[in-house]
Structures are given as structure tokens and as C-alpha cells.
Amino acid sequence: MTVAAPHRPGSSTLPHGLARRAANAVSGTPGRLGLAQIACVLACVALGIAGFLAGTGQSADLDIAHADAVDLVATQELRNHLVSADAAATNAFLVGGLEPTAMRERYSENLATAARAVPPLAARAPERSDELAVVSDALQRYAGLVESARANNRQGLPVGTGYLDLASATLRDEALPVLDDVAHRITARMDGHLAAVSMRQSPLLVVVGSLVVLGVVQWWLARRTHRMISPWMVVATAIALVGAVAVAIGVVGGNVVAHKVADGPYAATVASSAALAEATDAKSQESLTLIKRGSGGEHEARFQDSTTRAAALLAASDDAAGTERPTGDLLRTWLEGHAEIRALDDSGRWGEAVSAAIATGDGSPLAAFEEFAARAATDVTVTGERAATQLTRASAVSFATGWIALVAGLLAAGMTATGIWARQKEYL
């Protein structure tokens, strides 16, 4: 009678107990089929969960990027309304006495629209509420100073010019820098979310790995059982493949759309909006140059700087939109009118220059500016809506394919378990 040697600690020989029973359990075909069954079920479940997380996660990132784009455009529109109000106020100041009703209404509408735009922005991003409160405060003081300027201008008092200067300085030194900073941080945040959209492709590696596991098990099953196919496994693999392809198309497509939107309609929207702000600010500088009567050289220099930037931004917007729009030509038409005003003022005909600057008829510089501003605003709206539509559609596709992958993974898990169990029963 042979007596088994006792197990010694550190020996490489398997001990009696759980490890040996586990080894015996998988040493035969039924045990190996059980392991294959577990591997397939886990692979299918992993495929479903990874696809679900990739699709729904990317959908959430696209939605946040869309919200960032909306906030950025809203911030720039708020800025545009403020500089438009200032341009109307300074242009009306040139008239002297009782300003034209149309200019007064334009000033009031832009100021009121800007005031109404602040609370929704603060509500969507409470972390910016303190900064936007500074804008609201500056806006109220700006409006008060403009009213003081108007009151003195009606009486022909020179101090009105000082109030107008102080009002413009309040706007440019306190409100506009805050809005520029807010816009800069929204842009940085949106870039981060677009990067997150790209990272959502990583779970697709798990999806691919799960398909590889299913293929290897099917190949092993066919060799082990000497049957070419297992119907349950084939159907399960087909369903898993459909889920994997669907989520891959949704997630990779969503990433492509996000970057196309960022470089295309979204970039065009931001550039057009910034160009409009630069040009509108230049319009204020044109009026301030005339108001200063010979000492407004610094304002003319700012006019040239702003319009140069506006022209460059419009060119960039056309490149991003993939089309050449008439906005640049309208800007050049207005600049030609401005050059005529400067020629009159520089030749000592200040009154004629002022008349040319405040004229509203067809062919006047002011009419050319308003036509440019209307076209630039239309560009912002069109490209902004295009960006929103593309991001929303990509988000919906990613979300749907995430759920498709989850359902496909769970169905495939059930079918692979059933298919391999049918083979196991043949050995029991």
C-alpha cells in the first residue's frame, strides 16, 4: 500500500482541497466548456457595458459642449449689444440737442436686451454670478452717465462730452473685460469637453476585445465538439457584432462631428460675432473722433485697429464656414464711407463730416454700417444654428447606439450561455 507524501509548504505540488478540486473541475471537456461559457458571458456583458458607457457618455459630453457653445454665443451677443448701445449713444451725441428718435430707440433696445441677457447667463453658470453682477453694476452706472451726457448735450454744455467719455470708459474698462474673460473660460471649458468626446472612444477597445473572445471560443468549440457551427453562438456573435458596429459608428462618428463643428460652424459663429463686436466698437470710435474735434486721434487709431481685426475675423469666419459671404464686402463699403468722413474732417469741414456720419439715407455710411451689422448678425445666427443642429444630432445618435450596444451585449450573453450549455449536456 502506497502512502501519499504529506504536502510541504512551498512545494509546487498542488495541495488537496479547493485548488485541486478546481483543477479537476476544468481538466475535462465539461469543465472547459463551463470556463468557455463564463468567458463568453463576461465578454458579452463587458461589450454591452463598455458600449453603453461610450455612447451615453459621449452623448452627455456633446450636450455639455453644445451648452457651452450656446453660453459663449450668448456672452458675445451680450457684448455686442453693449457696444451697439454705446455706438448709438455716441452717434446720437453728434446731433446735439434732441437726438433722432431712431438712434435713441436703438440705444434703448440694445441696452435693455443686454440687461435682460445677464440673469439667464448667471442662472446657467452660478460660478460666474459674481462676475456678471459686476457687469450689471457697470451697466447701470453706464446708463446713468449716458443720461447725464444727454441732459448736458441738450443744453449745449461741454461737460456732456466728459460724461460721455466716462460712460464709454466704464463700459470698456469694467464690463467688457469681464465678458471677455467669461468668454475665454467658456471656450477653454468647451475645448475640455470636446477632448472628453474623443476619450469616449477608449471603451471601444473593450468592445473589440469582447468580439475577439467570442471568436476564439467559437473556434475552440468547433474543434472540440467537431461541429462547424453552434447556431446559438453564431446568432449571439452576430447580435454582439451588430451592437459593436452600431456603437463604433455612433461614437467615432460623434467624435468626427464634434471636431468638424468646432473647426467649422462653431468657429465661424465665434469669429463672426467677434468681428461684429470689433466693427461696432469702431463705429463708436468714429463718433468719438468727431466729438473730440481735432483731438480724437487716439479714437481714429482704435477705429483702424478694430476694423483691421474685424476684417481678419470675417476672413477666418468664411474659411471656417467653407464659403465666401458678402459680409466682408459690406464691411469694406462701410470703411469707404468712413474714409469720406475722415477726408471731410481732416480738410477742416467738420460740420459736413458730422452730417455725413449721422445721415441715414441710402448710400450713407451709417446705412452701410447697419447693412453690414445686419448681415453679420445673420451669419452668427445661421452658423450657430448649424452647429447646434449637428451637435444635437450627434448626441442623439451616440445615446441610441449606446443603448443598442447594451441590449445586444445582454442578449448575446444569454444566447452564448444557452449555446454552450447545449454542448455541455452532451457530456453529462
pLDDT digits over 310-332, tens only? 999 999 999 999 888 899 999 99
Neighbour-count burial of 6, counting CB atoms closer than 10 A to its CB (0-12 exposed, 13-18 middle, 19+ buried): exposed
pLDDT digits (tens, 9 = 90+) for 389-404: 899 999 999 999 999 9
Task: Read off the pTM.
Answer: 0.75
Does residue 230 or residue 22 have the better pLDDT? 230
pLDDT digits (tens, 9 = 90+) for 100-126: 777 788 888 888 998 888 888 888 777
pLDDT band at 346 (very low <50, low <70, confident <90, very high): confident
Where is average pLDDT lowest: 117-131, 219-233, 289-303, 342-356? 219-233
pLDDT digits (tens, 9 = 90+) for 35-81: 888 888 999 999 999 999 999 999 999 999 888 888 888 888 888 88
Per the prediction, the chain carries an average pLDDT of 84
Angle between helices 231-263 and 365-425 (to 10 degrees): 160
What's the pLDDT score for residue 15? 52
Share of the chain above pLDDT 70, in %: 90
pLDDT band at 420 (very low <50, low <70, confident <90, very high): confident
Query: Do residues 272 and 380 lie in contact, with contact meaning Cβ atoms separated by under 8 Å?
Result: yes
Give CA–CA dist 283/80, Å, rounded.
Answer: 12
Give CA–CA dist 348/133, Å, rounded.
Answer: 45
Whether residue 140 has pLDDT greater than 80: yes
pLDDT band at 10 (very low <50, low <70, confident <90, very high): very low
What's the pLDDT score for residue 151? 85
Q: Which among 385, 388, 387, 405 has a CA at the least distance from the CA of 251?
A: 405
What's the pLDDT score for residue 155? 79
pLDDT digits (tens, 9 = 90+) for 214-257: 888 888 877 776 665 678 888 888 899 999 999 999 999 999 99
Helix, strand, or coil (residue 269): helix
Whether residue 428 has pLDDT greater than 70: no
3-state SS record for 164-216: HHHHHHHHHHHHHHHHHHHHHHHHHHHHHHHHHHHHCCCCHHHHHHHHHHHHH
CA torsion sign for 340, 336, 103, 298 is: negative
The arithmetic mean of pLDDT across residues 280-303, rounded, is 83
